[in-house]
Amino acid sequence: MKQRDKKLLAIAASVLTAAALSTAPGMAHAGAGTVNFGMVAYWGEVASTYGGQIPSGAYVVINPNSGALGLSPRQMENYKAVIANIRSQGGKVLGYVATGYDQNTMEEKTRYAAIDGNVRAYKHALGGVDGYFFDEAAFDDSALSEPRKCDGTVAKWRAIRATLGMVGEHAALTVWNAGWPGTNACFIGAAQAGEHAVMYEAGYADYASRASWLNGPVQSVANAAGVKTWVLVHSANQAQMQQVVKTTAAHYVYVTSMTHNRTLPWGGPIWNYTASYWGNATHAGSERWCLKNLKDGGSC
């Protein structure tokens, strides 16, 4: 994910909506509905790096080159091996595709125009993935009115679905990452039944201050629409990770100890390494152990 000033402005604007919708303070909702991990794993092209790291049933986002275009033949073979490794552990692979927000700069227009090529590259050059993780998904810009953002997102996602259909990928899983739910959760509402949407991508402090809103009204919008939700939280210590995993209402969760670097426009390598507490399903206190125990009816 790319961190953008306008995304941050949009998140800041959501505070008013959060205050209007929030029904209770704090993180009061149990994480019993969490199904598995939705992992952002930009761990490179060496397949062995992924060995033993993927919980069965997890969705795993790979990002060869801000998409799958421009890879050398050797890189293509390496990423085919990465995909095979993830699948051998029971993981499902999602290909990262940038979508250029509202396309109001030349760079954003270029990323939007490359959606078709990136989907085709994942399908053909890399042998296929299980779905697509569409980043920069909202038609979002601080200069736009809230209704324009909401309406523009609906139209944008409709066009991307049409692209998937033309490429023969209409049945692939779609995950939309707008970074936040939008005013009155309109970005969540733009998703269709069976699709996934990232409810929130932020540092722990930002997430914690909005958790009641996300777990209550926003999750309710998603449930009513048949949309599966993700939360992606960075800059969290081990105790904070456990709090997120225990209390989130999202269907898929991923928390990392890696921190956002505000001096870099892209935020730094937040998702390029496993969290310090990632561990495994038998390592007490680890992220994987925590979710497994909760799913088995235990504690974290």
Residue 143 domain-assigned (yes or no): yes
Residue 201 domain-assigned (yes or no): yes
Domain interval for residue 135: 5-295
Residues 6+ apart with CB under 8 A from 211: 26, 27, 29, 247, 248
**194-211 pLDDT per residue, tens:** 999 999 999 999 999 999
Amino acid at 55: P
The whole-number pLDDT of residue 11 equals: 39
Distance CA 60, CA 55 (A): 10
Of 193, 210, 300, nearest to 19 by C-alpha is: 210
Listed range (16-30, 241-255, 275-289) with the worst mean pLDDT? 16-30
Confidence of residue 170 (pLDDT cuts 50, 70, 90): very high
Distance CA 124, CA 26 (A): 47
The whole-number pLDDT of residue 62 equals: 98
Of 106, 57, 108, 50, nearest to 79 by C-alpha is: 50
Q: Give the CATH number of the domain where residue 162 resides.
A: 3.20.20
The whole-number pLDDT of residue 17 equals: 43
Average pLDDT over residues 103-125: 97
**213-272 pLDDT per residue, tens:** 999 999 999 999 999 999 999 999 999 999 999 999 999 999 999 998 888 777 789 999
The whole-number pLDDT of residue 267 equals: 79
Residue 162 domain-assigned (yes or no): yes
The whole-number pLDDT of residue 19 equals: 39
Compare 102 and 20 and report the one with higher pLDDT: 102
The token pair at 275 is 């969290």
Residue 300 domain-assigned (yes or no): no
Residue 179 domain-assigned (yes or no): yes
Average pLDDT over residues 102-124: 97
Domain count, the chain: 1
Confidence of residue 32 (pLDDT cuts 50, 70, 90): low
Residue 40 domain-assigned (yes or no): yes
